[in-house]
């Protein structure tokens, strides 16, 4: 089983955390090497991984003064779903590496915070169980399989379970090279399975003497021929709104809008093409290209309330947490994810107040100087 290390005497617990960096430190301490390297690694030299955070740091805020901020409203909505603040949970695989309750813990925390969870195809928990825990607050992320009937079945399961949107990942025809996973041969522990993407036995059949087990499995599963024309087929099997995750250019954003899809700006957490543009750097051109015809979301590098404010000011409807949610899960299970969301919510409210903004609708580009 995955080793979940208990804190040493004197090690601060979840109650002592005051920001997401504290939670990350605690979460890292409680993971074994296999899990830690899987969650933390980026592609190649991890340039894009670092730039996701640095891009936010380079943006400067232009606060306005003498505004009544005694009541700051952080509420927004995504695809008609009300959110307590503009933050959701991004799809990430294998939550069972961090906590025995896996995606169930993450879903309950997101629901309790008035947020939304995006469930990964590569979850350790069946869609139907997560749907109950999420209390209607979940989207489903899809990789399109080479076997289209298998994909159609998974999509129908997600829709029947109550998913509110389908998130198609478009930036991973092949997995990026995450060198720690290759070096130490990342493997899923025997007690975990992937009930929405295959069986434990299928994974075991792809064991080799080298490389990441996930890469070996992924290469046989995902359709490398996926193109814009396939969106028509996807629409034929679902009535859910479709979000394309992995868009980084105005050209692709425009095509997404023309195909009736919403846009998720993402570079896969710096795990795919290294030296690709950071998410926040790509955001403005994407927002300009869709010109209000679709909703726009973002993930990558969000660790502070000011990051959320900056992304929304640039035109994102909502940002999504990837690793930050996993660090919370590792640090304290459901309570750790809830602590992550609560801390970030408080930071968003404070940042808005100090910027002189009374509600999310007032966040615009006039707030920023790059």
Q: Is 120 annotated as a binding-site member?
A: yes
Q: Is 50 annotated as a binding-site member?
A: no
Cβ count near 131 (within 10 Å):
21
Q: How far is CA 186 from CA 34, 39, 57, 180, in A?
A: 6, 11, 32, 8
Q: Is 323 annotated as a binding-site member?
A: yes
Please give the Cα distance from 348 to 343 (Å, whole number).
9
Please give the Cα distance from 321 to 15 (Å, whole number).
21
Q: Is 80 annotated as a binding-site member?
A: no
The DSSP bridge partners found for residue 319 are 87, 298
Q: Phi and psi at residue 326, in whole multiples of 5°? A: -65, -40
Please give the Cα distance from 70 to 62 (Å, whole number).
20
Please give the Cα distance from 316 to 253 (Å, whole number).
13
Among residues 95, 262, 268, 345, which one is catalytic? 268
Residue with tokens 């679709």: 294
- The closest alpha carbon to 32, from 339, 330, 326, 340, belongs to 330
Q: Is 362 annotated as a binding-site member?
A: no
Q: Is 38 annotated as a binding-site member?
A: yes
Q: Is 271 annotated as a binding-site member?
A: yes
Cβ count near 33 (within 10 Å):
11
Q: Is 211 annotated as a binding-site member?
A: no
Q: Is 349 annotated as a binding-site member?
A: no
Cβ count near 140 (within 10 Å):
30
Q: Is 310 annotated as a binding-site member?
A: no
The DSSP bridge partners found for residue 83 are 76
Q: Is 143 annotated as a binding-site member?
A: yes
Q: Is 95 a catalytic residue?
A: no
The annotation places the binding site for FMN at 91-93, 120, 141, 169, 245, 266, 322-323
The annotation places the binding site for glyoxylate at 38, 143, 178, 268, 271
Catalytic residues: 268
The annotation places the binding site at 38, 91-93, 120, 141, 143, 169, 178, 245, 266, 268, 271, 322-323
């Amino acid at each position: 089983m995955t080793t979940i290390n208990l804190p040493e005497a004197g090690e601060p617990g979840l109650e002592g955390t005051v920001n997401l960096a504290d939670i990350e430190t605690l979460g890292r301490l409680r993971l074994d090497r296999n899990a830690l390297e899987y969650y933390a690694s980026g592609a190649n030299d991890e340039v894009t991984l670092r730039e996701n955070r640095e891009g936010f740091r380079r943006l400067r805020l232009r606060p306005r003064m003498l505004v009544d901020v005694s009541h700051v409203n952080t509420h927004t909505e995504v695809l008609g779903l009300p959110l307590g603040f503009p933050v959701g949970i991004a799809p990430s695989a294998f939550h069972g590496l961090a906590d025995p309750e896996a995606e169930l813990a993450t879903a309950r925390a997101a629901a309790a915070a008035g947020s939304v969870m995006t469930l990964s195809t590569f979850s350790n928990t069946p869609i139907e169980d997560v749907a109950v825990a999420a209390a209607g607050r979940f989207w489903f992320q899809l990789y399109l399989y080479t076997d289209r009937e298998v994909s159609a079945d998974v999509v129908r399961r997600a829709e029947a379970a109550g998913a509110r949107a389908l998130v198609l990942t478009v930036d991973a025809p092949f997995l990026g090279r995450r060198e720690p996973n290759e070096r130490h041969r990342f493997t899923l522990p025997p007690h975990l399975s992937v009930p929405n993407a295959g069986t434990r036995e299928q994974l075991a059949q792809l064991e080799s003497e080298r490389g990441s087990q996930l890469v070996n499995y992924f290469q046989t599963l995902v359709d490398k021929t996926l193109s814009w024309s396939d969106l028509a087929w996807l629409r034929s099997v679902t009535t859910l709104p479709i979000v394309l995750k992995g868009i980084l250019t105005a050209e692709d954003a425009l095509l997404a809008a023309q195909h009736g899809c919403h846009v998720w700006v993402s570079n896969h957490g710096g795990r795919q093409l290294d030296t690709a543009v950071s998410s926040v750097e790509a955001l403005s051109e994407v927002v300009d290209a869709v010109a209000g015809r679709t909703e726009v979301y973002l993930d990558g590098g969000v660790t502070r309330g000011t990051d959320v404010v900056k992304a929304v000011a640039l035109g994102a409807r909502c940002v999504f947490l990837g690793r930050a949610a996993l660090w919370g899960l590792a640090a304290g299970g459901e309570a750790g994810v809830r602590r992550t969301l609560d801390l970030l919510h408080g930071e968003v409210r404070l940042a808005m107040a100090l910027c002189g903004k009374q509600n999310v609708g007032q966040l615009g580009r006039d707030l920023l100087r790059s």
